[in-house]
């Protein structure tokens, strides 16, 4: 798999597909990087503030929901493990049956 260098502006795009920073103007590239960083930081700050308010407003309810999820999903997980075990057992038995048949 071939890897391509990503653009220095932080866009995450390959150098060839970037937003135009190929101008090699360090001031322009820096401005674009600061622009992206500002909005990323603004988004992160908003998320942090919302997390605090959500925890305050819905924390006890979310704790109960999380407990219910753990209990229910735990049962589903155990059921999936048992089903998987049954499928593997069946596959093993079929393998043995077909191996015995092909030896005859």
| Domain coordinates in residue numbering, the chain | 15-103
Query: For residue 2, is pLDDT > 50?
Result: no
Query: For residue 90, is pLDDT > 70?
Result: yes
Instruction: Please give the residue that has the higher pLDDT: either 2 or 67.
Output: 67
Query: For residue 3, is pLDDT > 60?
Result: no
Residue 21, Cβ neighbours under 10 Å: how many?
21
Which pLDDT does position 22 carry in this prediction?
60
Three-class secondary structure of residue 34 per DSSP = helix
Name residue, tokens 């735990």: 74
Instruction: Please give the residue that has the higher pLDDT: either 67 or 33.
Output: 67
Residues 6+ apart with CB under 8 A from 33: 8, 9, 10
Three-class secondary structure of residue 83 per DSSP = helix
Which pLDDT does position 1 carry in this prediction?
41
Residue 7, Cβ neighbours under 10 Å: how many?
21
pLDDT, tens digit, for every residue of 36-88? 999 999 999 999 999 999 999 999 999 999 999 999 999 999 999 999 999 99
């Amino acid at each position: 798999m071939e890897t391509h260098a990503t653009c220095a502006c932080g866009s995450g795009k390959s150098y060839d597909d970037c937003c135009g920073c190929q101008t090699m103007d360090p001031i322009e590239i820096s401005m674009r990087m600061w622009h992206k960083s500002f909005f990323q930081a603004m988004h992160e700050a908003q998320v942090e503030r919302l997390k605090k308010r959500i925890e305050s407003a819905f924390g006890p309810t979310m704790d109960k929901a999380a407990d219910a999820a753990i209990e229910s999903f735990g049962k589903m997980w155990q059921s999936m493990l048992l089903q998987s075990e049954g499928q593997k057992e069946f596959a093993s038995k079929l393998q043995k049956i077909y191996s015995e048949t092909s030896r005859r």
